[in-house]
Amino acid sequence: MTAPHALLDLQATDLLIDRLASRERALEAGGVLAEAREGADAAERALGEIGLERDVLERDASKLEHEIDSLAQKAAAEQHRMSDGSVANARELEAMGREVENLRKRIAGREDELLALMEHREDVERRSASAASFAQELRTKVEHVAGDATTELSQVKTDLAVHRAERATLAASIDAELLELYEDLRSHKKGVGAAALVDGVCQGCHETLSSVDLDRVKRTEGVARCEHCRRILVL
């Protein structure tokens, strides 16, 4: 004879095993870890893109600096020729003066471009430092998630082994035919094959039994079933 509440104990154990098994599958699939790695990889890509932007700015700055230096040398050379007495022709001196003035304007323009570029580069450097910090933070998170997942998976496997052993003991105490019916119902009823009847309410489907059905269940000598969900009822 099966003890009245043995089936409910088995049901509770089975539900616990179901939850643990689901968590085991999730941990083994690595969904949480994959999500953390995806975030870290995205942060690394963003950091790389900022690095490329910074490289372009540095090349542009180098080109401008070289051009400014070249223009300054040319202006200095023209200025020297104008003052060293090697050129006496007034028109040529006037043309050289205009050239020096033009060179100075070009230098000023290039210096303004370089200043704007340097300000942009400072902004990129700040973004790069922030992105590098964020990427490192996410990489550290990946390491922690990986460690936590490994620890949790080990604990879940241990708990599963314990509860499966408990289930075997409980199942052995239940009549074979009742156990077979319970297993069949579990497979079709979202894992719940047996439920308690509390104050006339089936705890499996949460429907209230009519007074007629409740009286019939109480008088049943065999297996009582819920009229609504057909699960096994335990009074």
pLDDT band, very low/low/confident/very high, at 1 (cuts 50, 70, 90): very low
By the 8 A CB rule, do 77 and 99 touch? Answer: no
By the 8 A CB rule, do 174 and 9 touch? Answer: no
Q: Quick one: pLDDT at residue 35?
A: 86
Bridge partners of 65, per DSSP, are none
State the Cα–Cα distance between residues 130 and 230, nearest whole angstrom: 61
**Orientation angle between helical segments 31-83 and 6-29, nearest 10 degrees:** 20
Q: Quick one: pLDDT at residue 2?
A: 55
Measure CA 187 to chain center.
34
With tokens 């074979």, the residue in question is 176
Task: Write out the DSSP string of 91-158.
Answer: HHHHHHHHHHHHHHHHHHHHHHHHHHHHHHHHHHHHHHHHHHHHHHHHHHHHHHHHHHHHHHHHHHHH
Q: Quick one: pLDDT at residue 4?
A: 59
Q: Quick one: pLDDT at residue 60?
A: 94
Tens digit of pLDDT for each residue in 164-212? 999 999 999 999 999 999 999 999 999 999 999 999 999 999 999 999 9
Which amino acid, one-letter code, is at 69? D
pLDDT band, very low/low/confident/very high, at 86 (cuts 50, 70, 90): confident
* pLDDT > 70 fraction of the chain, expressed in percent and rounded: 98
- pTM of the entire predicted model: 0.58
The answer, yes or no, to whether residue 12 has pLDDT greater than 50, is yes
**Could you tell me where the beta strands, DSSP code E, fall in the chain?**
194-198, 201-202, 232-234
Residue 232 burial by Cβ neighbours in a 10 Å radius (0-12, 13-18, 19+) = buried
Tens digit of pLDDT for each residue in 51-65? 999 999 999 999 999
State the Cα–Cα distance between residues 224 and 216, nearest whole angstrom: 9
Q: Residue 196, by phi and psi: left (phi above 0), alpha (psi -120 to 50) or beta?
A: beta
Tens digit of pLDDT for each residue in 119-154? 999 999 999 999 999 999 999 989 888 888 889 889
State the Cα–Cα distance between residues 154 and 139, nearest whole angstrom: 23
By the 8 A CB rule, do 16 and 162 touch? Answer: no
By the 8 A CB rule, do 234 and 8 touch? Answer: yes
Q: Using CA atoms in the order 77, 79, 83, 89, what is the torsion angle rounded to 10 degrees? A: 100
Measure CA 158 to chain center.
27
Q: What are phi and psi of 28, to 5 degrees?
A: -70, -30
